[in-house]
Structure 1
């Protein structure tokens, strides 16, 4: 009886253990080999749908439907992946436009397609049919500083998971097989500091990967959590809500460490710290925001650096955890140190469905913790 139970469990564990990859890290954009710079992004083919609207049939629209389903804009039960622009696709386009503050026509116009083809995070924008990106919350949200704007656009995972009260000291570790350099680890250390600066939370690196609260790894393709990575650009990373603490990045991206994009910027260069700061927000319980200046905005263009928390990010994270006693609402101290932060430019998207993340993540806790 015992043996019969253990065998399937072992098979499940083996089947979903992710395989780490050797990631592409570059000290600066000029060190990226031309051979690794693609001529087009993974979603650039969607640009041919400019002007498409309900009633049109166009080759490849089925792939666009799958894109929208991946990010929550089309229900998971939908399975009519034909090339017909039906009412479900029209509704998806309109909701996407609302979330990204675009003209909500339901038609695939140029501004909409420009957003769709951007690299993005893997977490969904719509969870269980409900979008939290476009509507401002009431002004009675928590804030350590009364000068922060009143309307909030941040969001949380379903049921607002967070790390337990009183657990302010969290540990993080890197997948040992990735063998990350001190320079790369330093990028993540700074990214964690962005959040500890405004909350009571502290983050300490540990060598015990299995016991760490937050576990970070670089993977490629299908890595066992139901949401495979897609190579250069497309989806960049995804993270699981508390208390799972898993943070996966696509090892095939061209990750730039120094954050200097003031010179030439290859279309495939992705600032590692920008993506890390965003995904850590998910690890702490934040969902996506419709505020373009916010770290938790879902998309980022290549050659962009965005590392400073916006007011919307601060309001959201402080509603979950409260404020750092030393934080007075002024500008973060981490940014004015000679860093170039293009925080007004488009951002990154996480492309994992939050529902899938929560389900798979909770299951992974039982198996790997």
Structure 2
């Protein structure tokens, strides 16, 4: 089992940092040195959309990494933020609450980007979109949840795809930012793949 970073149900970071109420449009950019594929960038767009579906927040990709509200990058080992990565499995990623907006992923992980664990993926393969949705919750100020099916649960096993927000995630994020009037309240599920 890998560690994302527990508390009864949803939780917030100490001091409850958040994006200002007037800031509902957030921009994100990728570290230029990473040179990510179109598929990976689309995956992150879907992950941000999960949070937009339930809040009034919108997320737009920009090419200006230095000016983006949210800065996403893949790093290995000690990368200068006091939170070094530890190689395959272990700590997969970390994100810093508002207003820092930094989102770092371990570049040494065996990331799966198509959600398919059955076609020759290593046993240690981790679903990138699942981790992205979780870490975006941290970027928005959510802490960890004790509800196992919640996106904000602190761990995820390799071979697991969990990208839909649970009721606990929705209640927590809506307490912070309010509701998207178009949200229909459907209950999510997650899938464990066996090899």
Fold equivalence (TM over 0.5): yes
Name the structure 2 match of 1:274.
Answer: 130
Q: CA deviation at 1:262?
A: 4.9
**1 or 2, which has the higher helix percentage?**
1
Cα distance in 2, alignment partners of residues 306 and 264 from structure 1: 20
- TM superposition outliers: structure 1 runs of 4+ over 3 Å: 262-265
Give TM-score scaled by structure 2 length. 0.94
Alignment of 1:123-202 (within 5 A): 123=5, 125=6, 133=7, 135=8, 153-202=9-58
Cα distance in 2, alignment partners of residues 225 and 268 from structure 1: 25
* Alignment check: 8 A CA contact 1:293 1:344 kept: no
What secondary structure does 1:177 align onto? helix
Give structure 2 stretches of 5+ with no counterpart. none
Name the structure 1 match of 2:150.
Answer: 294
**1 or 2, which has the higher strand percentage?**
2
1:240 is aligned, of 64, 84, 96, to 96
Q: CA deviation at 1:171?
A: 0.2
Q: CA deviation at 1:328?
A: 3.1
Q: CA deviation at 1:331?
A: 4.7
Alignment of 1:1-369 (within 5 A): 118-121=1-4, 123=5, 125=6, 133=7, 135=8, 153-262=9-118, 266-331=122-187, 343=190, 345=192
Give structure 1 stretches of 5+ with no counterpart. 1-117, 126-132, 136-152, 333-340, 346-369
RMSD: 1.7
Cα distance in 1, alignment partners of residues 191 and 39 from structure 2: 26
User: Aligned residues, how many?
Assistant: 193
